[in-house]
Amino acid sequence: MHTGFFHEFSDGFIPLYVTVNTIFPYQDVVLVVLHACDWWTRKYSELLRTFSNHLIINLNNDTATHCFPSASVGMITHYGMAINPALTPKSKTFKHLRTFLDIAYNQNHKVQNLPKFRPLLVLAGCIGSIGRLLLNQNEVKLDAKKVGFNVTVFEPTCGTPLKESYALINSSHAMVGIHSASLTHSLFLRPGSVFMQVVPLGAEWVAEVCFERSPRAMGLEYMEYRIKAEESSLIDKYSKDEMIIKDPVAFRGSYISNLETMKIYLVDQNVKLNIVRFREYLKEAYMKAKKFMDKEG
């Protein structure tokens, strides 16, 4: 899943949600978009319709004259993947956003409260050659099954309909994945379910900003697995005594630009998890997911 998906939410839909609830909390809103591609409006059609009861005006192909009593150009943002309740008139939080997403995608995909015996774990993967691939994914999947999960590997592409992604993730009890844009789908997890982010070397800060704060604010059971040097593919290229491995924070600050850092830690790096060490995290995730499943179905 390309990084554009993350930015669609962090720079697009979350600021749009904040803007609508800040400026027009009690009013009818008409969305006017410019330079919107057909694939974009199709992919996000359910979400866009939930923002407004009116048809979206696409200025690319609209020749009519529209009159409004007021207009807001641009959007309000609360520093990326965040919503500050103190800055919204009705104290909106990420839990309110999750309810909003539920309305957008839950119309025909409600969780069936049938008896379940094994919690469902979604193993989120990256496809393509963008880095942060889980090199021993089959081993991790097998071990998660041994711990007690049913496991579904989730490898979304640009063409994966969001309503299908929502249906899967909303029905799950846990989600595990390496820090990447596909973890944006954690927004579809039900509050109380388990979300475990695997953090590669050198990605601690960006992992916190992107996918730690929002899950906690949404009421998820957040877990974090920070890999060791021997679990990183960078160890095949650099010595464990080099600063790039030994102290990524110091290396980023002392020697290279942010763009170069991104390439090394987020593009050049893949992950091979230590199954023995990771199993203990899976066991804890299982206990929490089982408890959630028994309570919520």
The model's pLDDT over 91-110, given as tens digits with 9 standing for 90+, comes to 899 999 999 999 999 854 45
Domain endpoint, select from 55, 73, 92: 92
- End-to-end Cα distance, the chain: 29
Dist CA 4 CA 292 (whole Å)? 32
Q: Is the sign of the CA dihedral 130, 279, 204, 124 positive or negative? A: positive
- Across 120-129, 207-216, 241-250, least confident range: 120-129
Q: Walk across the sheet containing 120-124 and list its strands.
A: 150-154, 120-124, 174-178, 194-199, 221-226
The answer to whether residue 107 is domain-embedded is: no
pLDDT at 1: 43
Range of the domain at 270: 120-296
The answer on pLDDT for 242 being more than 60 is: yes
Contact 219, 95 (CB under 8 A): yes
pLDDT class for 73, splitting at 50, 70, 90? confident
Q: How many domains does the chain have?
A: 2
Same domain flag for 199 and 268: yes
Same domain flag for 142 and 286: yes
The answer to whether residue 132 is domain-embedded is: yes
Same domain flag for 83 and 130: no
pTM: 0.91
